[in-house]
Amino acid sequence: MNLQQEDWVSQLEADTNAVILDVRTEDEWNDGIIPNAINIDIYKGQGFIYAVEELDKSKNYYVYCKAGGRSEQACNIMNQLGFENTYNLLGGMMQWKGKVVEPEN
């Protein structure tokens, strides 16, 4: 499901079963992330699918990328793999007005 930033954030903050998933490249990830995000690069193709299949399908996934295109694609892939609750951040990091932190490597 595509959500505007305000809806994505308010739903995320109220969700006790949430996982934030960043599907950008490692270089993009290193530029700063939404706090508590995990990173699985969608450009890894089959590697992305393998990594996603290891995730807990009972969780709710809040997915973002740079502009919203890759994260929408990731949500579609995840839905096909049996994930019921995926939420795409429209506009991605380019339009993100919330907190950004350095990833811990």
Integer Cα distance of 14 and 103 in angstroms: 23
In a domain, 33, yes or no: yes
* Residue 65 designated active-site: yes
In a domain, 8, yes or no: yes
> For the segment 1-30, what is each residue's pLDDT rounded down to a tens digit?
999 999 999 999 999 999 999 999 999 999
Q: How many C-beta atoms surround the C-beta of residue 80 within 10 A? A: 9
In order of 2, 18, 77, 87, the CA distances from 84 in angstroms are 14, 13, 11, 10
Tell me the CATH number at 70: 3.40.250.10
Beta-strand ranges (E) seen in 41-92 are 60-64, 86-89
> For the segment 93-104, what is each residue's pLDDT rounded down to a tens digit?
999 999 999 998
Task: Report whether 98 contacts 9 (CB < 8 A).
Answer: yes
The boundaries of the domain holding residue 35 are 2-94
> For the segment 36-54, what is each residue's pLDDT rounded down to a tens digit?
999 999 999 999 999 999 9
At position 3, the amino acid (one-letter code) is L
- Per the residue annotation, which of 65, 74, 78, 93 is the catalytic one? 65
In this predicted structure, the answer to whether residue 105 has a pLDDT above a threshold of 70 is: no
What's the total number of domains in the chain? Answer: 1
In a domain, 100, yes or no: no
pLDDT reported for residue 104: 84
